[in-house]
Amino acid sequence: MRGLFALTMLSLLAAAPAYSGTKAVYEQAENKGSLTVEIADNGDVRVGPADQPMYILLIGDASYIVTTKDGKTTVARVADVAAAFDKVMPPIFGKIFGAAAKGTPKGPPPMEKIGPQTVNGRTGTAYKFKGGNPKEESPVLVLSDDPALQPVGRAMERFTEASVLLLAPLFGKGIESMIDDMRAVFAMGTPLRGGDGMTLKSVETADVPASRVALPGKPQTVDEIVQAIKVTPTN
């Protein structure tokens, strides 16, 4: 009987799916919904709000924005979207934001270590940014150095970098300092809670099919993106 039970258990284990992908969910602050991170076993990533027609794909070294509107799906490389915005944006905006960005300090942002803090059952280290308005409370972020969370941290770093790159036409060279600061923070650990209040809710091993991280169409060219977002000046 024991032998039969053992064989049955082995059969069940053999039949069970061996998932090697990862799914993480971050809750955004102020009831703005959740952000789902799906990591396939080949390292490609899909990040986006739940049940929203827009998401970002991180495939190899490239990042893409996928949007669906009126039943039509469009795909564009983040770098090409930034280049397109750079072409259609009125010069005055680039000058205004570029001037503001010149004062951005280089190097990692000054941070003060607070100590251990637990977020949804996971322990990390809390930090707060130094400087800013002394009358305002500095935002606190919690970072974890748990190796098991590193894939999620890398995915979120690339997602954040893709989002920041879209601001390149506004900030010009100042974008380099922003990305340097961001990378310095992610090098310290995976965010359990971001400075904006986004909080890691769950992480689990999951089946992430190749279709979830595949491009649903051919990426647009820079000229095609320009035509889609071009602004006609008014006199």
pLDDT tens digits along 90-122: 665 555 455 555 555 455 567 889 999 999 999
Q: pLDDT-derived band of residue 11, with 50, 70 and 90 as boundaries?
A: very low
Q: What is the CA radius of gyration of the chain?
A: 21
The pLDDT value recorded for residue 8 is 44
Higher pLDDT, 221 or 29: 221
Residues 38-64: tens digit of each pLDDT = 999 999 999 998 767 899 999 998 999
Residues 122-165: tens digit of each pLDDT = 999 999 887 666 666 778 899 999 999 999 999 999 999 888 88
Please state the rounded mean pLDDT for residues 204-220. 94
- Report long-range pairs for 86-91 (Cβ below 8 Å, ≥24 apart): 86/168, 86/169, 87/222, 87/226, 88/226, 88/229, 88/230, 88/231, 89/169, 89/170, 89/231, 90/231, 90/233
Distance CA 229, CA 235 (A): 19
Higher pLDDT, 186 or 166: 186
128 close to 138: Cβ distance less than 8 angstroms = yes
Write the secondary structure of 11-37 as one string of H (helix), E (strand) and C (coil).
Answer: HHHHHCCCCCEEEEEEECCCCCCEEEE
Q: Is the pLDDT of residue 235 over 50?
A: no
Distance CA 38, CA 170 (A): 30
153 close to 159: Cβ distance less than 8 angstroms = no
Is the pTM higher than 0.95? The answer reads no
Q: Which helix (H) or strand (E) holds 206?
A: strand 199-206
| Domains of the chain with bracketed CATH | 18-229 (2.50.20)
Q: What percent of the chain has pLDDT over 70?
A: 76
Please list, in sequence order, all residues whose beta carbon lies within 8 angstroms of the beta carbon of residue 6, skipping any fewer than 6 positions away: none
66 close to 144: Cβ distance less than 8 angstroms = no
Q: pLDDT-derived band of residue 216, with 50, 70 and 90 as boundaries?
A: very high
The pLDDT value recorded for residue 90 is 67
The pair of three-digit structure tokens given for residue 116, joined into one six-digit string: 């251990």
